């Protein structure tokens, strides 16, 4: 149980860092510095950069954090439909 509490504290610290200094082009509309960060299992984010081929595009992503994070990697899925030539469900 102590390990679970340590992992939760680590996630809270990392989420607060995302709010203070987010990656370039990323925003986290469901997180705010005033909110109590209690549900750490899922994070909704938006990414979009002006200096890319997809300028003015906003892409929604969902990051699912496993209970054993950082020992297990987060699962990232796109909420915005995208097509990438090397990734195809038909294959």
Domains of the chain, by residue range, sit at: 2-78
Helix (H) or strand (E) holding 8: helix 2-20
Question: Does the predicted model carry a pTM greater than 0.85?
Answer: no
- Which CATH architecture group holds 2-78? Roll (3.10)
Among all chains, which residue has been given the structure tokens 């030539």? 85
- Looking at the chain, the whole-number percentage of residues with pLDDT higher than 90 is 3
d(CA 28, CA 16): 11
The answer to whether residues 28 and 18 touch, using CB atoms and an 8 Å cutoff, is yes
63 forms beta bridges with: 43, 76
Q: How confident is the model at residue 13 (pLDDT cuts 50, 70, 90)?
A: confident
pLDDT in tens, 28-62: 887 765 555 556 678 888 888 777 777 778 889 99
Strand order in the sheet with 26-27: 26-27, 42-47, 59-64, 75-78
């Amino acid at each position: 149980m102590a390990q679970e509490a340590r992992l939760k504290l680590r996630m809270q610290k990392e989420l607060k860092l995302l709010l203070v200094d987010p990656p370039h082009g990323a925003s986290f509309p469901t997180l705010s510095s005033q909110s109590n960060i209690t549900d750490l299992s899922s994070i909704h984010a938006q990414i979009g950069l002006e200096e890319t081929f997809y300028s003015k595009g906003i892409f929604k992503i969902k990051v699912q954090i496993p209970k054993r994070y950082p020992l297990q990697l987060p699962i990232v899925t796109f909420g915005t439909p995208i097509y990438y030539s090397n990734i195809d469900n038909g294959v």
